[in-house]
Amino acid sequence: MTKDKEKSVKEIICGIDLGTTNSCISYLKDGKPVVVSVEGTSAIMPSVVSYDEKTKQIIVGKEALNRLAAFPHHTVRSIKRLMGKDTKVHLGKQVYSPEEVSSFILQSLAEKAANITGALIKKAVITVPAYFNDAQRRATIAAGELAGLEVLRIINEPTAASLIYDYVSKKEQLSTPYILVYDLGGGTFDVSILEIKGEIKEVLASCGDTALGGDDFDERLVDLFLRNIKEKTGLDFTTDNRVLHVRLKDIAERTKISLSDNPYIVVKEASILTHNGEPINLDIEVTRKEYEEMIADLVNKTVEKVKEALTEAHLTSRDIAEVLLVGGSTRTPMVQEVLAGMFDIPMYHSVDPDLCVSLGAAVQSGLITGEPLGHILLDVTAHSLGVKTADNFDYVTGDADYFSVIIKRNTKVPVRRAELYFTMVNEQEAVKVEVYQGESYSCKENTLIGDFIFKLQPSPTGSPIVTEFSYDKEGIVHVLVEQKGYNNHKEVTLDVRTRKVKDKEISTDDQRILNYIVEKYRQMLNKDGLSEGVKNDLLAIGQEYEEALRTGKPDDIIDDLEARLLEKIEEAEEEFE
């Protein structure tokens, strides 16, 4: 495309629901959010990625899902569960990070949507579960950037769903100002309570479980099938048969979906595998009642979280005027019945539960670009944020493990809070600032989201050090430490998009930062318009650096290469400033 042609193409900003099971992309058309049917007539694209050894191509969506049973070692689903984790995914011989796999999904959505709408798509708002921690949010931003998208904002899924509320609510007037968003998807569960004050929607409380969803419902049915096979044949396939597991999971999901509409279903699947040349069939009747008994504890887990959210919002179930059901698993009748009983209000889907998150993200994009949509959004932090201190110093082990909270969970964002700490010895040389997220008093039980060394000027015991934290609107963390009374401070932004994180003192041994550098370098390499000279230098140093990491070269060599690579990345970035 020539520059002139590019100019004449309309640019749209998308809202993307990057789901565990399915993903969706929407945009604002004449001020109204609409989804794009990226999979034929359907707007729902399975979040599945596969690598085709023959064509050496990445395949995404329904086509990838279709390959799952035949090529389970080349195909991955539910990658969202691995986001923020320092792990690798193997698609045949190819090895990818969870961010890279997610970036394939995002890229595919954006490309398909661009083809269908004929518009240019370079910017997006991406949603994450409210309960995602900092590392998971940062990984999502990294995935967006790897997909070539500028991530304008990361917003919480229930918040996005609430934004769509005004477009769909049939009620003129709510009986109370409180609505509850119950979001049960394939892999995650979120519950949020919002207060509607005219145009303003305020999130009062938000909690959930990043490892609870419809996939777990499916697993209960897989267990049932395996038990049934064992009873009939004496063969135990509970472990070590990935191909069978993929097939059974698929059958389980279909069974589950059928049970949402039928009181029972007869599962008849011929030759699900062969043993000593003999086919093994699946032939079992499952009633909805049996299925509900199997999943009751999982549904109860969500109810406990709902109660937790109510307590945190200082409300009771009677204060809730409406429950917004989000996520495919809310189609499960038992889920709706339990909630209807709890809130004493009828449950229904006021908007397609698979689409409302991405539609809401599109509304958010309109808010950012200034479309007159009339929403003002106040969000809250999903986790308490703080630092490790020596308050509970263990004189036997020498361990300090006390989690000192600076920003409490469910605090409105953006927020900035500071706390005062004191040096422990005379002329202390430095403090190690370890930033945690979580709700336990013990740091060990919380999530370390970053650490760094702050060098001190000589000062007496008990000298004050101010630690200031801020959460920005994306839920990303900025830390400022200051030695009070001395002109000595240090600012660290635990945000993949800023350059601050390149400060080596943050934590050279932190794998996530190493990953960040590698990703940043790869991303730079792929940027259009980078001059040939810088590109070649970047490639040479980057490859040397990756090789050094892979072969476990000594720290001083890695440090040196890292510094050189960061310098080159900076040089490359300057070309775009």
Contacts by residues 261-264 (CB-CB < 8 Å, ≥ 24 positions apart): 262/288, 263/287, 263/288, 263/289, 264/288
Stretch that binds ligand AMP, among 100-108, 209-217, 447-455, 548-556 (CB under 6 A): 209-217
Residue 330 C-beta: closest distance to ligand AMP, Å: 8
**Which residue of 15, 18, 20, 502 would you call a contact of ligand AMP, by CB under 6 A?**
20
Instruction: Between 335 and 514, name the residue whose CB sits nearer to ligand AMP.
Output: 335
385, 437 in Cβ contact below 8 A?
Answer: yes
């200034």: which residue's tokens? Answer: 370
Residue 284 C-beta: closest distance to ligand AMP, Å: 19
Interaction of residue 78 with ligand AMP, rule CB under 6 A: no
- Give the span between the Cα atoms of 379 and 411, in whole angstroms: 8
257, 197 in Cβ contact below 8 A?
Answer: no
Work out whether strand 320-326 and strand 178-184 pair parallel, antiparallel, or are unpaired: parallel
Task: Look up residue 307 and give its two tokens.
Answer: 């109660």
Between 163 and 192, how does the x/- string for binding to ligand AMP read (CB under 6 A)?
----------------------xx------
Interaction of residue 33 with ligand AMP, rule CB under 6 A: no
How far, in Å, are 149, 433, 506, 521 from residue 570 at the CA level? 20, 26, 18, 10
- Give the span between the Cα atoms of 348 and 226, in whole angstroms: 34
Instruction: Between 253 and 495, name the residue whose CB sits nearer to ligand AMP.
Output: 253
Instruction: Between 123 and 331, name the residue whose CB sits nearer to ligand AMP.
Output: 331
Instruction: Between 257 and 466, name the residue whose CB sits nearer to ligand AMP.
Output: 257
Interaction of residue 423 with ligand AMP, rule CB under 6 A: no
Stretch that binds ligand AMP, among 18-26, 170-178, 229-237, 559-567 (CB under 6 A): 18-26
Interaction of residue 22 with ligand AMP, rule CB under 6 A: yes
Instruction: Between 181 and 413, name the residue whose CB sits nearer to ligand AMP.
Output: 181
Q: Considering only residues 227-286, where is the footprint of ligand AMP by CB under 6 A?
A: 253, 256-257, 260
136, 476 in Cβ contact below 8 A?
Answer: no
Q: How many residues does the chain have?
A: 577
- Give the span between the Cα atoms of 132 and 209, in whole angstroms: 9
Residue 501 C-beta: closest distance to ligand AMP, Å: 31
Q: How many residues bind ligand AMP (CB under 6 A)?
A: 19
Q: For the CA atoms of 567, 573, 575, 577, what is the dihedral angle to 10 degrees?
A: -130
Residue 44 C-beta: closest distance to ligand AMP, Å: 7
Instruction: Between 159 and 467, name the residue whose CB sits nearer to ligand AMP.
Output: 159
Instruction: Between 327 and 450, name the residue whose CB sits nearer to ligand AMP.
Output: 327
Work out whether strand 200-209 and strand 189-197 pair parallel, antiparallel, or are unpaired: antiparallel
Among residues 15, 299, 313, which one has the least CA distance to residue 192? 313
Among residues 304, 306, 328, 225, which one has the least CA distance to residue 267? 225
Residue 350 C-beta: closest distance to ligand AMP, Å: 15
Q: Considering only residues 343-362, where is the footprint of ligand AMP by CB under 6 A?
A: 354
Residue 573 contacts by C-beta under 8 Å, 6 or more apart in sequence?
A: 499, 524
Contacting residues toward ligand AMP, per CB under 6 A: 19-22, 185-186, 213-215, 253, 256-257, 260, 327-329, 331-332, 354
